[in-house]
C-alpha cells in the first residue's frame, strides 16, 4: 500500500486528520447563505452520467478476491517531469508484494500520427520464474500469456483504459496488481 | 418522525463491510451514494469530461481493491474524495508534462504550499458536506435541492417549487429551516 494512502496510519493520516478538523470547523462557521451557496456548487458539480454509475457497479466483478494485492511502487507515467516528454517513450511501472516484483513497460502500438488505441507491454518477474499472466481489462476481459523460465512475458493488441495484471506462479498465492490507467 | 429517532445510524460502514465480503448490492448502494461526490471532485479540479470519466472509474477501482482495508468506513466520503483528488492531480501533471504551456489549472491546485493546502481543504469540505447531505431524509434532500439547485441565479420561487414537489407553499420555509438545521447538526457531529 502506498504510504500516502489515507486509510493507513503515519504522517499522511495526521495530515488527513488535520484537514478533516479544519474543514469541519470551516463549514460550521458558514452562515445559512454561505452554506446554501456551498451546497449549491457541490450539487451542481455532482451530476452523474448514468452510464458512469452503471459501469462502476458492473466493475464489482473485477474484484480479485483470491489474490494478494501488488501495489504500484514506481511509475514513470506519474512522476512530475519538466519539459516535453517524448510521446512514444514507454511507460515503466513496477508493482510489488511480499516475495514478488512485477516490472512492466507499456507503449502504444502506433506509427507516429496514427493512433491505433492499442498497446503492447513487456514484463519481468522477480524472482525470475515461470508464471501464468492474465492482463485484466475494465470490461472483465482477460488476455492470458505466459512468463518464461526467466520470468519474461509480453502481450500486444491491448486496449487502453484500466489495466491490472494477475500473476499465478506454481505453488504460490496468486497476485493481482493495482489498477493503472493506460491512455 | 420524531427527533429522538434521528439521525439514523450511518449505513455506510455496514455497506463497506458487506461489499468487502462479496455483496454486490452493498457495492451498488455505495456507488449510488457517492458517485456524485467523486464527479464533483473531478469537476472541482477542472478535468475535461473524458479525463473526469476515466478518473472517476479509476477511483472506484481503487475502492474496490481496498474494500477490506478502509481504516475508518465512517469517513469513506473523505477517503473517496482524497483518492479521487490524487488521481486528478496525476492527470493534470501528465497534461502539463506533455504540453508545456502555462497551466492555470495545475498551478491553481498545486501552486505554492498555500494554494495546495487551500485545495486540500476545499476537497475535504466537499466530502464532509456531501456525507452530511446524504444522511438527511429523502424529503429534506428533495426540498433543499429544489430550493437551491433549481434556483439557478436569483432567489428560488417557492410557489413553483411547491407545485413541483406537490406540497403546500406555506410549509416550504419552515421545512427549509428545519432541514438546514439538521444539516448543521450532521456537520457538527461529523467534526467529533
Global ipTM: 0.87
Return phi, psi of residue B180, to 5°: -65, -40
CA distances (Å), B88 to each of A153, B13, B78, B111, B147, in order?
Answer: 31, 26, 15, 15, 31
Residues 11-30 of A with CB under 8 A from B: 13, 15-16, 19-28
Q: Does B149 touch chain A (CB under 8 A)?
A: yes
Band of residue A85 on the pLDDT scale cut at 50, 70, 90: very low
Q: Which residues of A touch B184 (CB under 8 A)?
A: 28, 35
Structure confidence by residue, pLDDT tens digits, A107-166 = 988 766 555 689 999 999 999 999 999 999 988 889 999 999 999 999 999 998 999 999
The three-class DSSP label of residue B99 is coil
Please, where are the H alpha helices in A29-149?
32-45, 50-58
Touching A: B residues 93-132, CB under 8 Å? 93-94, 97-98, 100, 120-121, 124-130
Of the candidates B126, B40, B45, the residue with the CA atom closest to the CA atom of residue B91 = B45
Tell me the residues of chain B between 169 and 188 that have a Cβ less than 8 Å away from chain A. Answer: 180, 183-184, 187-188
Neighbours of B42 (CB within 10 A): 25
Question: Are the C-beta atoms of B85 and B45 separated by less than 8 Å?
Answer: yes
**B23-78 pLDDT tens trace:** 999 999 999 999 999 999 999 999 999 999 999 999 999 999 999 999 999 999 99
Please tell me the pTM assigned to this model.
0.86
Amino acid at each position: 500500500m502506498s504510504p500516502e494512502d489515507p486509510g493507513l496510519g503515519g504522517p499522511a493520516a495526521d495530515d488527513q486528520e488535520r484537514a478533516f478538523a479544519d474543514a469541519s470547523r470551516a463549514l460550521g462557521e458558514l452562515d445559512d447563505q454561505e452554506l446554501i451557496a456551498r451546497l449549491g456548487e457541490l450539487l451542481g458539480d455532482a451530476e452523474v452520467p448514468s452510464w458512469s454509475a452503471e459501469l462502476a457497479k458492473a466493475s464489482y466483478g473485477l474484484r480479485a478476491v483470491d489474490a494478494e494485492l501488488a501495489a504500484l511502487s514506481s511509475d514513470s507515467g506519474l512522476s512530475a517531469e519538466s519539459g516535453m516528454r517524448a510521446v512514444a517513450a514507454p511507460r515503466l511501472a513496477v508493482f510489488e508484494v511480499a516475495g514478488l516484483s512485477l516490472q512492466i513497460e507499456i507503449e502504444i502500438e502506433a506509427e507516429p500520427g496514427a493512433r491505433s488505441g492499442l498497446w503492447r507491454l513487456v514484463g519481468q518477474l522477480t524472482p525470475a520464474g515461470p508464471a501464468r499472466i492474465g492482463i485484466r481489462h475494465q470490461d472483465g476481459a482477460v488476455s492470458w500469456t505466459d512468463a518464461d523460465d526467466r520470468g519474461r512475458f509480453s502481450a500486444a493488441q491491448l486496449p487502453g483504459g484500466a489495466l491490472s495484471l494477475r500473476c499465478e506462479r506454481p505453488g504460490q498465492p496468486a497476485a493481482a496488481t493495482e489498477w493503472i490507467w493506460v491512455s | 418522525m420524531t427527533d429522538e429517532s434521528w439521525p439514523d445510524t450511518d449505513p455506510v460502514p455496514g455497506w463497506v463491510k458487506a461489499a468487502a465480503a462479496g455483496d454486490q448490492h452493498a457495492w451498488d448502494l455505495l456507488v449510488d451514494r457517492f458517485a456524485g461526490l467523486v464527479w464533483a471532485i473531478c469537476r472541482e479540479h477542472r478535468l475535461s469530461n473524458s479525463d473526469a470519466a476515466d478518473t472517476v472509474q479509476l477511483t472506484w477501482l481503487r475502492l474496490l481493491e481496498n474494500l477490506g482495508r478502509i481504516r475508518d468506513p465512517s469517513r469513506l466520503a473523505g477517503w473517496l474524495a482524497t483518492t479521487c483528488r490524487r488521481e486528478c492531480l496525476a492527470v493534470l501533471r501528465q497534461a502539463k508534462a506533455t504540453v508545456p504551456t502555462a497551466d492555470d489549472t495545475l498551478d491553481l491546485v498545486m501552486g505554492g504550499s498555500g494554494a495546495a493546502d487551500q485545495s486540500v481543504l476545499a476537497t475535504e469540505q466537499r466530502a464532509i458536506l456531501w456525507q452530511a447531505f446524504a444522511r438527511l431524509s429523502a424529503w429534506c434532500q428533495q426540498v433543499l435541492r429544489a430550493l437551491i439547485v433549481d434556483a439557478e441565479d436569483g432567489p428560488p420561487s417557492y410557489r413553483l417549487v411547491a407545485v413541483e414537489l406537490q406540497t403546500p407553499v406555506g410549509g416550504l420555509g419552515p421545512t427549509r429551516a428545519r432541514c438546514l438545521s439538521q444539516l448543521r447538526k450532521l456537520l457538527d457531529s461529523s467534526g467529533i
